[in-house]
Chain A
Amino acid sequence: MSDKLRLRFEKTGRAVYISHLDLMHTMQRAFNRAGLPLKYSEGFNPHPQIAIALPLSVGTGSLCEIMDFKLKGEANLQELPERLTAVMPEGIRVLEAYEPQRKVAELKWLQVEGHFDYDERDPAEMAAALQKFYRQETIVITKKTKRGMGETDICPGIREIRFTPGEKKVDITAVLSAQEPTINPELLAEALRQLRPELAPDFAKFTRIETYDVGMQVYR
């Protein structure tokens, strides 16, 4: 049997500015502080065995991060979240720890919430225009790919999207493709900057809410 374990955790508040690489170090140290050292890989350059499923962009929060790891010793999975949360930096809260039943590749959709800030424009007007823009059949933008800059249609990666006017902002809820293709919520603002600059927000911020599989069942 594999000794692989899975952690679900939140990364919010000030912790959203911890980069992916720094988060790996932060996790490693937190496990040490909790007295639950991570298992290291064998070989010339041993490194702790942890893998964060979908790296988050700096500035984006999450209530549903997934990290796989292996421990050097045994651990009570029931107690583990509380023990780890107690030694985390502000903003990181461990929700649960369990033996994973599914592969990370089966994670397909991410529900996200966020807002576009409009300092000077009318949010109601913006919300209507945004809804219309994102009802299009195709939205082709230029984006960095593995082979330099390329054209991508982001529409197939947007399963749902809803805009609600708020105070100097438009609230957004969306279900976006988590992988193959990865639709970073930041692309929702980027598409506007490229294609409809008059709708581009003054600032955009997102939080991941929940993970789903291809059939829109909650993924764990």
Chain B
Amino acid sequence: MDKALERILPRVQKPARYTGGEYNQILKDKSQVDLRLAFCFPDTYEIGMSNLGMSILYDTMNSLPFVWCERVFAPWGDMYAEMKKAGIPLYALESGDPVGDFDSLAFSIGYEMAYTTVLDMLDMAGIPLRTADRPNLLPLIWAGGTAAVNAEPMAPFLDLFVVGEGEEVDNELLTLLREAKLSGWSKHDFLVKAAQIQGVYVPSLYEVRYNADGTVASVTPQDGAPARVTKRIISDLDKVPFPTKPIVPSTEVVHDRVSLELFRGCPRGCRFCQAGHVYRPLRAKKPETLIRQGIESLENTGHEDVTLLSLSTSDYRQLPALCDGLLAYCEPHSIGLSLPSLRADNFSMEIMERLQKVRKSGLTFAVEGGSQRLRDAVNKNVTDEDVLHTCSIAFAGGWNTVKLYYMLGLPTETDEDILGIAEMANQILHCWRVNAKNKNRGVKITISTSCFIPKPQSPFQWEAQIPLEEYLRRVNLLRSAITARNVTYNWHDAETSLIEAVLSKGDRRVADAIEEVWRQGGRLDAWTDFFSFRRWMDAFQTCGVDVDFYAHREAGKDEILPWDHIDVGVRKAHLWHEREMCYESRLSPDCRHQCAACGAAKLLTGGIKCDER
């Protein structure tokens, strides 16, 4: 280990997150590989090591014998300061080698607030931030993740983006990069060729022009790049490799357990939800595959918990069969099976009872809207009756904690809708009085609200966010309506939501402000410990970024949106139709009852159909 590093590690909090050496890490002989890849997660070790996508792609990229893919995370504040002081550059965990010496850096960007950390990690590695300032092929700096559905705010910094699921396209790209490196191609020649791979977006090959009013006038591809970059998906999830030997962190991380992904996509179509639209089409794994992968992963990690992931787990058709299969292994081995993101409407108490034998943790409902009308408008298919029915069973079964999540500022929301949230809390309280067996333990109902953020590639991508003051007015309205002692109200601060709205809906002109925030010391902005609203607002002003234009302006139907040239499968016309349905407060049926022909099925290959049984 580097001597300078050895000296600082005893001084920082939780040093084990900076050392590597965990069980199942992948070590290779660096003299035997052609490409050294730094897989960078622009957040802390604890967050990054809990990310299933990171775990999957670490495995698939390392399956290439000519690539050694290593992990890199962002150091926490204390370690960051010590590294700066000691002159230690960003290094990769497996080898401890400086990232600046690698052939390529690949970032996994899951959320907008990670943007400044991407820049900071480049800087810590000694790499120029902008693609224009990196004339050579190597190091190639690229990114994937949900942020790629609107890559524009980060376009000047990344050489290319991968849109969609990376299991196949990442390896195609690395194979091309190896050829380029060994044959001595120029960066431009490589990028032009890479742009021909489906799912690869090379921002520098697209010229963006703007209208006088600030909207996008045109996006023109060059050098044969496709007019629209089509997202990549894995059609058959049963056939794609899944890491059953994931790294076992030697220190505590956020999700310290085996994660199984039941399906990708979501049949629900909540109109505010980006994930529900950009991860389509719906593809499920077979229960046999999941049970086998689950058992293998448990045996290879020694974890004592396994969790089932997906956008709405209870929509998995063979959930009972899957749970039975896993429990047959888990119960005799004292392994806990947990099931997040259950929905109130098809909530099965029997499953809950079976899964949570020891701990009776609280019930959580994402209700989102305070009235039936508003929930219909946003296509959140949950009724008051669903919530109350589930609560009554749960209270009778001994549960006594309920959490309800709402968004304030959804399109068409009125004060009446907001007051409906308080009314719901009262009804749940009443439900508890009627149904609870043992009232001595009391009940705790928690209401949380966050501020709606319009997201690209969702039906609300044209929407404006409500101004900060309006959000606070609505918070106060709700606050004064909640009177019961057993009901707690938490509201998410709207300042982060405002910045997120600008970054979500931003175009390339927002990039300067991101860099300016970083220059003023911004990093790890997803953490309240580091986020500074003032710093962002100052940077927007310095760089001439009009917050109202991006966050508070409703876009026109025919306007070219900055991300229109990224094709995630779902048609823009479908999204617009869904938006119109919102203003009529009309529900769209669940995909499973009636296919809405959203367009995502076109991405499937090999004769596979959307949501095939």
With A17-B19, A89-B22, A90-B22 given, can you name 20 additional A-B contacts, CB distance below 8 Å? Answer: A13-B21, A14-B1, A14-B19, A17-B15, A19-B251, A22-B251, A28-B304, A29-B23, A29-B302, A29-B304, A30-B23, A33-B300, A33-B302, A35-B299, A59-B10, A59-B15, A87-B302, A89-B23, A90-B20, A205-B6
- Give the distance to chain A from B159, nearest Cβ to Cβ, in Å: 32
Could you say which residues of chain B place their CB within 8 Å of the CB of A30?
Answer: 23, 302
Could you say which residues of chain A place their CB within 8 Å of the CB of B14?
Answer: 19
What 6 pairs between A and B have smallest CB-CB spacing? A29-B302, A14-B21, A32-B302, A90-B21, A59-B10, A33-B302
Once A18-B250, A33-B301 are accepted as A-B contacts, the answer to whether A89 and B21 lie under 8 Å apart by CB is yes
A1-23: which residues lie under 8 A (CB-CB) from chain B? 13-15, 17-19, 22
> Which of B9, B20, B303 contacts A29 (CB under 8 A)?
B303
On whether the beta carbons of A32 and B248 are closer than 8 Å, the reply is no
On whether the beta carbons of B299 and A89 are closer than 8 Å, the reply is no
Could you say which residues of chain A place their CB within 8 Å of the CB of B256?
Answer: 25
Could you say which residues of chain A place their CB within 8 Å of the CB of B1?
Answer: 13-14
On whether the beta carbons of A37 and B334 are closer than 8 Å, the reply is yes
- Give the distance to chain A from B441, nearest Cβ to Cβ, in Å: 16
Whether, in the assembled complex, A142 has its beta carbon less than 8 Å from a beta carbon of chain B, the answer is no
On whether the beta carbons of A29 and B16 are closer than 8 Å, the reply is no
On whether the beta carbons of A89 and B10 are closer than 8 Å, the reply is no
- Give the distance to chain A from B143, nearest Cβ to Cβ, in Å: 29
Residue interface bits A83-111, CB-to-B below 8 A is 1, else 0 = 00001111100000000000000000000
Could you say which residues of chain A place their CB within 8 Å of the CB of B23?
Answer: 29-30, 33, 87-89
- Give the distance to chain A from B405, nearest Cβ to Cβ, in Å: 29
Could you say which residues of chain B place their CB within 8 Å of the CB of A91?
Answer: 21
Whether, in the assembled complex, A218 has its beta carbon less than 8 Å from a beta carbon of chain B, the answer is no
- Give the distance to chain A from B471, nearest Cβ to Cβ, in Å: 41
> Which of B250, B300, B333 contacts A26 (CB under 8 A)?
B250
CB-based nearest B residue for A57:
B10
- Give the distance to chain B from A88, nearest Cβ to Cβ, in Å: 7
On whether the beta carbons of B252 and A25 are closer than 8 Å, the reply is yes
Whether, in the assembled complex, B85 has its beta carbon less than 8 Å from a beta carbon of chain A, the answer is no
Whether, in the assembled complex, A31 has its beta carbon less than 8 Å from a beta carbon of chain B, the answer is yes
Q: Compute how far the CA of A119 lies from the CA of B432 in the bound complex, rounded to whole angstroms.
A: 68
Once A40-B334, A59-B10 are accepted as A-B contacts, the answer to whether A14 and B20 lie under 8 Å apart by CB is yes
CB-based nearest B residue for A25:
B252
Whether, in the assembled complex, B357 has its beta carbon less than 8 Å from a beta carbon of chain A, the answer is no
- Give the distance to chain B from A150, nearest Cβ to Cβ, in Å: 24
Could you say which residues of chain A place their CB within 8 Å of the CB of B557?
Answer: none
Residue interface bits B220-264, CB-to-A below 8 A is 1, else 0 = 000000000000000000000000000010111000100000000
Whether, in the assembled complex, B534 has its beta carbon less than 8 Å from a beta carbon of chain A, the answer is no
Residue interface bits B291-310, CB-to-A below 8 A is 1, else 0 = 00000000111111000000
Whether, in the assembled complex, B485 has its beta carbon less than 8 Å from a beta carbon of chain A, the answer is no
On whether the beta carbons of B21 and A15 are closer than 8 Å, the reply is yes
B76-110: which residues lie under 8 A (CB-CB) from chain A? none
Q: Compute how far the CA of A32 lies from the CA of B301 in the bound complex, rounded to whole angstroms.
A: 8
Could you say which residues of chain B place their CB within 8 Å of the CB of A205?
Answer: 6
Whether, in the assembled complex, B7 has its beta carbon less than 8 Å from a beta carbon of chain A, the answer is yes
Could you say which residues of chain A place their CB within 8 Å of the CB of B19?
Answer: 14, 17
CB-based nearest A residue for B17:
A17
- Give the distance to chain B from A16, nearest Cβ to Cβ, in Å: 9
Q: Compute how far the CA of A203 lies from the CA of B8 in the bound complex, rounded to whole angstroms.
A: 10
- Give the distance to chain A from B416, nearest Cβ to Cβ, in Å: 46
Could you say which residues of chain A place their CB within 8 Å of the CB of B21?
Answer: 13-15, 89-91
Q: Compute how far the CA of A18 lies from the CA of B14 in the bound complex, rounded to whole angstroms.
A: 8
On whether the beta carbons of B299 and A58 are closer than 8 Å, the reply is no
Q: Compute how far the CA of A205 lies from the CA of B8 in the bound complex, rounded to whole angstroms.
A: 12
On whether the beta carbons of A18 and B251 are closer than 8 Å, the reply is yes
> Which of B16, B301, B302, B303 contacts A31 (CB under 8 A)?
B302
Could you say which residues of chain B place their CB within 8 Å of the CB of A26?
Answer: 248, 250
Once A28-B302, A30-B302, A33-B299 are accepted as A-B contacts, the answer to whether A203 and B22 lie under 8 Å apart by CB is no
Q: Give me 6 A-to-B residue pairs in the complex whose CB atoms sit less than 8 angstroms apart, sorted by A's number.
A: A17-B9, A17-B15, A28-B304, A31-B302, A32-B304, A59-B15
CB-based nearest A residue for B299:
A33
Q: Compute how far the CA of A53 lies from the CA of B444 in the bound complex, rounded to whole angstroms.
A: 42
Could you say which residues of chain B place their CB within 8 Å of the CB of A90?
Answer: 20-22, 25
On whether the beta carbons of B304 and A19 are closer than 8 Å, the reply is no
- Give the distance to chain A from B548, nearest Cβ to Cβ, in Å: 48
- Give the distance to chain A from B340, nearest Cβ to Cβ, in Å: 22
CB-based nearest A residue for B96:
A14
Could you say which residues of chain A place their CB within 8 Å of the CB of B16?
Answer: 17-19, 22
Greatest chain A CB density within 10 A among B16, B300, B303 is at: B16
Could you say which residues of chain B place their CB within 8 Å of the CB of A58?
Answer: 10, 15
On whether the beta carbons of A29 and B15 are closer than 8 Å, the reply is no
CB-based nearest B residue for A23:
B250
Could you say which residues of chain B place their CB within 8 Å of the CB of A31?
Answer: 302
Could you say which residues of chain B place their CB within 8 Å of the CB of A87?
Answer: 23, 302
